[in-house]
């Protein structure tokens, strides 16, 4: 996980302001230089937890080309594209 993403999550969860994420859809795309299964699982756990804590709608994650296509189809269906 990049430092920028970690900082974003940390600051988003620590805010006492109105929740701007509530009800928003979250799609996560994991890309990198041959991530291990353990690193994938860890990052996806963190993102699902972030979605829950911010009351976002977790739509899923893509770690490869076929999963990315599945999320694209889901996104297009929800957004009627």
Asked if 29 and 62 count as a contact pair (C-beta separation under 8 A), the reply is yes
Instruction: Report the pLDDT value the prediction gives residue 66, as an integer from 0 to 100.
Output: 92
Average pLDDT, consecutive stretches of 10 residues, N- to C-terminus, the chain (81 residues): 89 79 92 80 93 94 91 91 82
d(CA 42, CA 1): 9
Provide the H-helix boundaries in 1-81.
3-13, 37-53, 65-78
Q: What pTM did the predictor assign?
A: 0.80
For 16, the token pair is 């006492």
């Amino acid at each position: 996980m990049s430092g920028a993403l970690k900082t974003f999550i940390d600051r988003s969860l620590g805010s006492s302001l109105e929740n701007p994420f509530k009800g928003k859809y979250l799609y996560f795309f994991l890309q990198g230089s041959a991530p291990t299964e353990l690193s994938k699982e860890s990052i996806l756990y963190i993102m699902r937890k972030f979605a829950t804590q911010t009351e976002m709608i977790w739509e899923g994650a893509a770690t490869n080309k076929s999963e990315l296509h599945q999320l694209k189809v889901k996104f297009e269906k929800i957004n009627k594209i």
